[in-house]
Structure 1
Amino acid sequence: MTVAEERSDGSGPDEGADADLRLLQQSIAEVRRVIVGQDHMIERLLVALLARGHCLLEGVPGVAKTLAASTLATVVGGTFARIQFTPDLVPSDIVGTRVYHPSSESFDIELGPVFVNFLLADEVNRAPAKVQSALLEVMAERQVTLAGRTHPLPRPFIVLATQNPVESEGVYPLPEVQRDRFLFRVRVPHPTATEELEILHRMSVSPPLPGRVLDPARLTSLQKLADQVSVHQLVADYVVRLVMATRAPGEYGLRELAEAIEIGVSPRATLGLVAAGRALALLRGRDYLLPDDVRDVAVDVMGHRLMLTFDALADGVEPDEVVRRVLSAVPPPLVVWNQAQR
């Protein structure tokens, strides 16, 4: 039984599914009222929300990364906090600390700004290693441990992080273990000439303000609905073959990639491909996963998890291109769905 079938208003599953799809489309439309272009980024942000995954937005300054994250938080509802990451940040600035009260001669726990539904980690690569390590428990376990006590974070919870990939002054590369915690790494390009002109018209006088479409409870129900998207065994096998092709490329006819890939993607990539594919299928109005859904999210899920060799990095090989080469070499299955399979 799906979430749509459990509605208390008496509507059937079809009506409920149509209402959910309209809500998702309305959410995207509301974000697009503020953000010009960047359709890929907007779609991936909503997919990450539905898949309960964190999202890393990577692009040069001024391409609306921060604005997109804050706008989506407004549209979806829930609590929101923005942390500007700087080199002098310490872990207690984000997760909280113990505060001593002389009057009572006791310590109290002061929770940090991460205790929200939506956390915007702006310029996340400007913080040192200790701060990045403090985020690991937050992102993976959705909890914070202070003074031996565990404090769960609100649900739903998502980290939307931004970083500038071309800057080297005062920045710290993200550790591999932290990059693996992000469901997506989305590259945000410059707008086109037409989009640039629209930005000038829309934002130079009275910028539009987003309206609220969802709330945390409704978002949670949509996340559960995404969990129930059917995955055919052939599609699951296709996901595994894509992942294994990055670990043993020679076995999949990709011997030229064996010298470029140092370490293939982790099992989180396998889980991420299915979770993101399910969310994308729901966003497209389906309750079953197709190989095309997996292919569409593969670059954003797998690219940042690949570790390339030194020679490949020196030759300017891009991880995203390696993923595209894997996609072209591993054939997708032909899956035919019928009503009995759903």
Structure 2
Amino acid sequence: MHKVDVQLGDRSYLICIDDKFSPLQPSLAAARQVVIVSNPTVAPLYLQQVSQLFAQAEVKHFLLPDGEAYKTLQSFEQVLSFLLQQKMSRDLVLVALGGGVIGDLTGFVAACYQRGVSFVQLPTTLLSQVDSSVGGKTAVNHPLGKNMIGAFKQPTQVLINTSVLKSLPPREFAAGMAEVIKYALIADQAFFHWLMQHTDAIRAQRPDTLATMIQYCCQMKADIVSRDETEQGERALLNLGHTFGHAIEAWLGYGVWLHGEAVAAGMVMAAQLAVARGNLQPQDLQQIKTLLSAFDLPTAAPDTMTIADFMPFMKTDKKVKHGKMRFILPVAFCQTAIADDVTEAELYEVFADGHR
């Protein structure tokens, strides 16, 4: 078993990475009230197995439809109504069994129900294993913006089972690789080259390679979150590609492109902007495209989307500060910084002939 310790004082917790659902910490295993939130895709595969982790509880479950389109206030209310109807107390343990949509929504419910209850993340997609299940960001989407309504709520434990990745469709696995590549581009050229060297092993889902890769990503995120839990500074770097990517998701309609696909295109756009500013070399941009392409990820925004289509979403992005758009941009190969001096005129100039 691989372990990562997220250091947050009295809210610290362990991420356990194994090829099975690792044992829960004793206080969780002894829970009397447990509700597992999942979806009809994941539940038939793992619900019974996960329920057995809670030997002393009568485990209840609530299934939401599968997909980003259901990460809404309506779904949030449906889960809350179920908890109230079942007369769940503050001793409740909520379990998020699914990908990022289930994890984000369940975490938001856990933050709000009776002002906060414990919850466990059991992420079943690569994207959620390396990113969204770690760090305590919880939210639902709104038609005017992604993840605009939510709270910071740290899980009590994260159990990552690498064997569940075998059941993922190839497109879902590839979408997770976008977030993996993001960690390399933020601050680690050595990890970028490791990914290049291990592309075949990753695509073949070799267990040892996956465990090493996932642990690295979780450790990097844990270190950043430990220093900046509520994204006052450094944690914003984890949003590389997301300002452009969230705009793509919202403009197309949530679920048309997977989150990781939109982030991949967004990272290329951020790199293109950095090239135009003289902070990144064209050959560096090509390396980024090559690695993304190796995992069948898009390297451009939708052909039908213009920079004018991006603007309304980017102006309401959560990173906007004092009315200024802020972007995470490369300042060198595999090195990033927050840029708050990007103007509309510059964006139109750089992306005037499409998305290059």
Compute the TM-score of the two structures, normalised by the length of structure 1. Answer: 0.29
Compute the TM-score of the two structures, normalised by the length of structure 2. Answer: 0.28
Select the structure of larger CA radius of gyration: 1
